Amino acid sequence: MCKDQLYHALKVNESVCYGCTHCMNVCPTQAIRIKAGIADINDQRCVDCGECLRACPVKAIYVEQDDFSKIFDFDVRVAVLPSVFVGQFSKQIAESEIVDVLKELGFTHVVPAEAVVDVINDAMLEHHSSTAEKPLISSFCPSIVRLVQIKFPGLVNNIMPLKSPAEAAVVYVRNLLKEQGVESAKVGVFYVTPCASKIAALKSQPSEDPSFVNGVINMNFLYNKVYHVLKNRSSDQSLENHPRPYLFSKGLEWSLTSLFGY
Q: Could you tell me if 15 and 6 are in contact, meaning their C-beta atoms sit under 8 angstroms apart?
A: no
Min dist. Cβ of residue 156 to ligand SF4 (A): 18
Nearer Cβ to ligand SF4 (21/90)? 21
Candidates 29, 138, 139, 255; binder of ligand SF4 (CB under 6 A) is 29
Question: Can residue 63 be called a binding residue for ligand SF4 (CB under 6 A)?
Answer: no
User: How many residues sit in the footprint of ligand SF4 (CB under 6 A)?
Assistant: 28
Residue type, 20: C
Which residues 87-146 are close enough to bind ligand SF4 by CB under 6 A?
none
Nearer Cβ to ligand SF4 (27/222)? 27
Through-space distance between the first and last CA atoms of the chain, rounded to whole angstroms: 37
CA dist 84 and 98 (Å) reads: 13
- Closest by CA position to 105, among listed 66, 79, 73: 79
Say what the alpha-carbon torsion angle 25, 28, 30, 35 is, to the nearest 10 degrees: -50
Candidates 1, 11, 18, 228; binder of ligand SF4 (CB under 6 A) is 18
CA dist 35 and 39 (Å) reads: 6
Candidates 6, 12, 145, 170; binder of ligand SF4 (CB under 6 A) is 12
Binding positions for ligand SF4, rule: CB under 6 A = 10, 12, 17-23, 27-29, 31-32, 39, 41, 46-52, 55-56, 58, 60-61
